[in-house]
Structure 1
């Protein structure tokens, strides 16, 4: 292979988009750039109190152009001429309403500031009621249209969010022609798409979130959705039947985007997928090894030969889809709704005095107060982790539940809440933080246990993402709780590099993504091994975690759809 061949991987996260320009022969990162969404940073169009998290498509478009152009600027014009492919991963399920041309409604006059016309971020839980309705409705049908998504539909997913939006906003409902995942829309944008009916939908998003399956030749029939709510009648006709794996091409760069980016119209644009799926490839996933992408939430990916798990259905996970990760294997997904977000919540709690009182201090200047606030915010988690690691492991110390953003898996339930127990007057910040960290590890163990219980072995753990690279305290605890080693991948950008591997495959530089993964993968540079004595204590504490979870679940209201919007408003008032 010519060494002068390059590919670009674009990774859309919850807070920012990152592009990496890589050597297609060995995966070397030649240039990278990050763009933080400005509207998201300002908290626009969101309401944490209402579990509403929306993102404006302009944040995505501006970030796409900025990061790729910055990579090209860093690498130089010679490299730009040798770029052969671009692939994209995004968070998900993060869908948006589009018109017939495939344009997100928020980009049209009259919808610019309407949250219902924007991308509904993965962690938006406004559709809890709709998810509950889908789960109840599915019981009336055979075949079971939920069987390939773990038997439980989530408020974080495609159909629940669509139903919530069309019920909430008449203007959006009337203007909405189709409903599109973020990972499908960006390739459509880059290739100059102008007809929603011709948009190529990725197997990853369609299978794991939209109920697509080969068994029913596409999506469930119109009858399933029309009888759920007449507002969905006929909607499947405006969606898709065929899906594409991420080693395939969506097309080539349009003249407009080639000019905007300083690239050639010969550059191949790959089919998009979710970040964790491409991240698992960037992290060199292996059969029956759980690849844990650990960031604000976790996505746990596992691949297995189709013939070995074809008839095995794992209850309560986020789906199992042929070709959703590696084209010729079954991809299984699970995860936790809050991982790094749990630690961020605790940091925010501790920062309250500084954020609310320091600016009014009569002792220091406003400029010093701002600088001090930023310094302490950056130091809190590293320092509190250091002190928490020094605490003796005790069977009866503080313990917690990790459902601060509901429960993703096993058994999705976004109504559930986090909890902290065993508190006393000696419970200081390091002790509480330690309990929270342990809870996230216990939540991860629940996922492994579910796979094993349902007949899918977990032979090893692979750690990917920011938390895996930056927190030895949490990773050692993870190894002890799981009682198995966890390898940490060398790359800090496994999602973007995974996208680059798919770009190289879609561009024809490799016959299979496995070949791209072997050539471009950076390998592992850390491994954490369990301590048998600590593992034994954690096994006992895991029982307390389970009991606390059962108690919290018992107290949780079973059906939000029993409360009308008008009744809910009265309660709030």
Structure 2
């Protein structure tokens, strides 16, 4: 008898569900739902790097997408054996003692600090710096050692620390915090005991400094030095973590009724979208899976024997079982990939939206038709013209740090930049420079893995960019000087989540076997164009030089601000004489090596 599973994939802009045949991975139905509040930019402020999402966007999307895929197929509910949730991350949200998000409780309905703090929210840069400083200097274990040695403002503890310092009401009301993937899983299962609920190994290991070497999360004596709230919070979080082939629970009576499913349906432990995507793309050792969307996550797996005691510098963590149980999952990524191109598109669209589409010379129907035509052709025309620019022609050099740098060596204070502009520079030249930048950023990740002794034999691309932009993928193959296989599935992370669900439901014994039977096939392979590889190597040198320059001035500016703050604090004292001021300034400059 046929058996089916559901994968639910929460991205930055939308949630998608797929109904999958466990025999062969055939995707029988799929549905995508855009977050309505997010689309309206509610609770967000891009100028402050604040990006928050209301849990109602996620709950509504859950119900709408699953009901839709069930309506599309006449499948007996009893034959749907499992569900698994994957989400973006780190995207924590505060909850009360009953596990209810604060944003769903009285008084917090419109408070951004009570919302889910999306992965791309960078309001916690200073808090991340504090965590890194403490981890290096507190005299005990450096708890960032398995997270690349640098804690990021994109991650769990930094975000919580920022929010509770900014909002006393949220601090008092937040009994615990949950990653997005844990929250949606918790929502669906019958068991509502927060303490015994099975939290994601993937989320905790890569983003919350959880590791078996120190028996779980960092200890209270470390967290208390950041804020006593964090030390107390640790008691309301978790000790153990679980991989996504395990059962978190069964579908609750309430949600089985709302969705039209059986209470015997297994709900697997949650995971992150990129890790599920790697499973959906049949990841294996020495394969780098690039999950390319608004940002990228670059995923690898390796045996414990291969990795040994080695820690890979500057990545987003290495965690036992975070991708495939029994193997170490390695994560890296770029903070902006599609987001960089979207920024350029939005900038170029300003005169269209504010001058052309607001003109009284056009009818309402003409404006609608023109807007649709522009939307459908914008990137494709830019890509075509950029591709036709010969590499011998002068092309600007750009950086991909429009949303900071994730890997190698997380630094969200860094900004994008561009050089080598001239009066001959046109929009396609800049677009080509931006495409080069995201490909050069990808090469820096490959170089870091290889420099650290992790060999890469193949590259797999998944996501909308991988499938829809031959120009970008060919450029990436040329820059990396490696063939790139493209997964055929439009919903590879959701497919990977469905694979985890099939294992949790007992249909397959291992994730590897389920992935080989249910994972996506490949629709294309991009091979390096040998005649262009040397040219891209030369252009990469310009990228490296601009990167070094921007990083240097960013670090100097940060140090100068710190010196200014320290000196000003001393100068405020009435007893600080002129000679003392000179000595203080000299000492500060020497300490910061300015």
TM-score interval (norm. to shorter): over 0.9
Q: CA deviation at 1:560?
A: 10
Aligned to 2:454: 456
Q: Deviations over 1:114-147 (max 9, x none)?
A: 0000100000000011001111111123221110
Aligned to 1:419: 417
Q: CA deviation at 1:306?
A: 1.1
Aligned to 2:217: 219
Distance in structure 2 (CA, Å) of the matches to 1:420 and 1:366: 38
Aligned to 1:176: 174
Distance in structure 2 (CA, Å) of the matches to 1:414 and 1:520: 37
Distance in structure 2 (CA, Å) of the matches to 1:5 and 1:335: 35
SS in 2 for 1:198: coil
Question: Where does structure 2 lack aligned partners over 5 or more consecutive residues?
Answer: 569-594
Q: CA deviation at 1:403?
A: 0.3
Q: Deviations over 1:64-89 (max 9, x none)?
A: 0000000111112x333310000010
Q: CA deviation at 1:230?
A: 2.7
Query: Which of 528, 531, 536 is the matching residue for 2:529?
Result: 531
Aligned to 1:294: 292
Name the stretch that deviates more: 193-202 or 334-343: 193-202
Q: CA deviation at 1:99?
A: 0.7
Contact 1:359–1:366 (CA<8 Å) still a contact in 2?
Answer: no
Aligned to 1:114: 111
Aligned to 1:558: 558
| 2:84 is aligned with 1:98 | no
| 2:344 is aligned with 1:346 | yes
Q: Deviations over 1:2-46 (max 9, x none)?
A: 3x2100000000000000001011111111111100000111000
Aligned to 1:487: 485
Query: Which of 276, 291, 294 is the matching residue for 2:274?
Result: 276
Distance in structure 2 (CA, Å) of the matches to 1:150 and 1:434: 31
Distance in structure 1 (CA, Å) of the matches to 2:231 and 2:7: 38
Aligned to 2:364: 366
Q: CA deviation at 1:531?
A: 1.2
Query: Which of 227, 231, 237 is the matching residue for 1:233?
Result: 231
Distance in structure 1 (CA, Å) of the matches to 2:338 and 2:537: 23
Query: Which of 123, 145, 153 is the matching residue for 1:126?
Result: 123
Distance in structure 1 (CA, Å) of the matches to 2:264 and 2:157: 36
Aligned to 1:48: 46
Q: CA deviation at 1:198?
A: 2.5
Q: CA deviation at 1:375?
A: 2.1
Distance in structure 2 (CA, Å) of the matches to 1:472 and 1:359: 30
Aligned to 1:23: 21
SS in 1 for 2:151: coil
Distance in structure 2 (CA, Å) of the matches to 1:466 and 1:151: 31
Q: CA deviation at 1:97?
A: 0.5
Aligned to 1:135: 132
Contact 1:128–1:560 (CA<8 Å) still a contact in 2?
Answer: no
Contact 2:93–2:180 (CA<8 Å) still a contact in 1?
Answer: yes
Matched residue count: 562
Q: How does 1:333-482 map to 2 (within 5 A)?
A: 333-394=331-392, 396-482=394-480
**Structure number with bigger Rg:** 2
Tell me how large the CA RMSD over aligned residues is: 1.4
SS in 2 for 1:197: coil
Q: CA deviation at 1:249?
A: 0.6
Distance in structure 2 (CA, Å) of the matches to 1:73 and 1:80: 11
SS in 2 for 1:308: helix
Query: Which of 188, 206, 209 is the matching residue for 1:208?
Result: 206
Distance in structure 2 (CA, Å) of the matches to 1:389 and 1:359: 29
Query: Which of 64, 68, 71 is the matching residue for 1:70?
Result: 68
Contact 1:52–1:126 (CA<8 Å) still a contact in 2?
Answer: yes
Contact 1:395–1:541 (CA<8 Å) still a contact in 2?
Answer: no
Aligned to 1:156: 154
Distance in structure 2 (CA, Å) of the matches to 1:237 and 1:152: 25
Contact 2:395–2:432 (CA<8 Å) still a contact in 1?
Answer: no
Aligned to 1:315: 313
| 2:495 is aligned with 1:497 | yes
Contact 1:100–1:195 (CA<8 Å) still a contact in 2?
Answer: no
Contact 1:212–1:218 (CA<8 Å) still a contact in 2?
Answer: yes
Aligned to 2:84: 87
Contact 1:133–1:561 (CA<8 Å) still a contact in 2?
Answer: no
Aligned to 2:328: 330
Contact 1:11–1:90 (CA<8 Å) still a contact in 2?
Answer: yes
Q: CA deviation at 1:399?
A: 1.4
Q: CA deviation at 1:368?
A: 1.9
Contact 1:72–1:79 (CA<8 Å) still a contact in 2?
Answer: no
Aligned to 2:574: none
Question: Where does structure 1 lack aligned partners over 5 or more consecutive residues?
Answer: 568-573
Aligned to 1:571: none
SS in 1 for 2:110: coil
